[in-house]
Amino acid sequence: MLSAHVLGVGVLGPGLPDWPTAAALLRGESPYVAVASALPPPAALPPAERRRAGRVVRLALAIGAQAVADAGVCTGNLPAVFASSAGDGDNCHEICEALASAERSISPTRFHNSVHNAAAGYWSIAQGCQAPSTALCALDASFGAGLLEALLQLRAGAESVLLAAYDVDDPPPLRAHGSVSDAFGVALVLGAAPQARARLQLSFTQAPPTRLTEPALEALRESIPAARALPLLQWLSRPMQGCVVLDYLPEQRLQLHLTP
């Protein structure tokens, strides 16, 4: 059975500015108020890249930085799995508008930022990390696909791995066709060796996904693919022996057996 220890957590979403705040909300210690996500410029990038970093790169680098700081791990040789249900809609919109115009002039930066692994590339540059990184997409199953890949990398010999799952809402007119209501991202540093931190074991199940009791948080879970991780985050906010089921593909869900 695939398993991992959760060494660090990062989160950023509407009304969830960081993991300590999100953990308190998920424990029910303070009421959830959904305010739009604010994405900080990535401090780890050189000034030129920092200015040009779009919302997707800002979000991915912010949650990654939170998680590695929480875990207290060195990023120099940390493999990374990036997962996003759609990619960079802002960038795609600009390119498609340009291609629909008479000039068809695309900026070189916009083009190289259009790749789905742009955030993974900027993360490796910012951290000086030559370890493998990957960028996945599985629509609504993207968090689950990323979690599976991270656990498989641990099984294949990695000591620890960063998982970052994130989605950013599209601008019009793409917005009408997407499935993301606002920016939301979650990052976990997962380790193979026994640690003092929580342990999870993964298996496939047909059971329905675990829901959140707070209606606004449950609405968030349903409206952003990366937020399908919220039941796991709720458990991590108050670890106890138990089991959560996360959304994955239409045919199967991921069951996580959890040990504090």
Partner 1 sequence: MTRMDAVWIRDYTAASALGLGRAATRATLEAGRSALAPCRFESAALSTWVGEVAGVDAVRLPAAHAAYNCRNNRLAQLGLSQDGFAERARERIAHWGAARVGVFMGTSTSGVLETELAYRERDALTGALPQGFEYRRAHNAFALTDYVRRVLGATGPAVTICTACSSSAKVFAAAQRMLAADLIDAAIVGGVDSLCLTTLYGFHSLQLTAPGPCRPFDRMRDGLSISEAAAFAWLERPSGDTAGSDVLLLGTGESSDAHHMSSPHPEGAGARRAMQAALQTASLRACDIDYINLHGTGTPSNDAAEARAVHALFGSQVPCSSTKGASGHALGAAGALEALICALALQAGLMPGGLNTDEPDTSLQVDYLTSNRRAALARVLSNSFGFGGANCSLLFARADGARAS
Instruction: Specify the 3-state DSSP secondary structure of 39.
Output: coil
- Which of 35, 36, 156, 207 binds partner 1 (CB under 8 A)? It is 156
Position 116 contacts partner 1 (CB under 8 A): yes
Q: What are phi and psi of 53, to 5 degrees?
A: -70, 125
- Give the nearer residue to partner 1 in terms of CB position, either 15 or 144: 144
Q: b vs e for 1-11, b when ≥16 Cβ sit within 10 Å of the residue's Cβ?
A: ebbbbbbbbbb
CA 75, chain centre distance (Å): 17
Q: List all residues 6 or more positions away from 115 whose beta carbon is below 8 Å from its beta carbon.
A: 121, 135
Stretch that binds partner 1, among 6-14, 39-47, 153-161, 215-223 (CB under 8 A): 153-161
Task: Name the minimum Å distance from CB 153 to partner 1.
Answer: 7
257 is a site residue for partner 1 (CB under 8 A) = no
Cα(234)–Cα(25) distance, rounded to whole angstroms? Answer: 9
Greatest CA span in the chain, whole angstroms? 61
Q: Should residue 37 be labelled a site residue for partner 1 when binding is judged by CB under 8 A?
A: no
What SS3 state is found at 194?
coil
Q: Which is closer to partner 1, CB of 170 or CB of 182?
A: 170
Contacts of 210 (CB under 8 A, 6+ apart): 231, 244, 245, 246
User: Could you say whether residue 177 binds partner 1 (CB under 8 A)?
Assistant: yes
Site membership for partner 1, residue 157 (CB under 8 A): yes
Q: Which of residues 7, 71, 148, 163 is near partner 1 by CB under 8 A? A: 148
Q: Kindly state whether residue 87 participates in binding partner 1, applying the rule CB under 8 A.
A: yes
Q: Does 51 bind partner 1 (CB under 8 A)?
A: no
Handedness of CA 1, 222, 241, 65 (dihedral sign): positive
Nearer to partner 1, 22 or 95 (CB): 95
Please give the residue ranges that form the binding site for partner 1 (CB under 8 A): 2, 85-87, 92, 95-100, 104-108, 111-118, 120-122, 124-125, 127-139, 141-142, 145, 148-149, 152-153, 155-157, 172-174, 176-179, 204, 249, 251-252
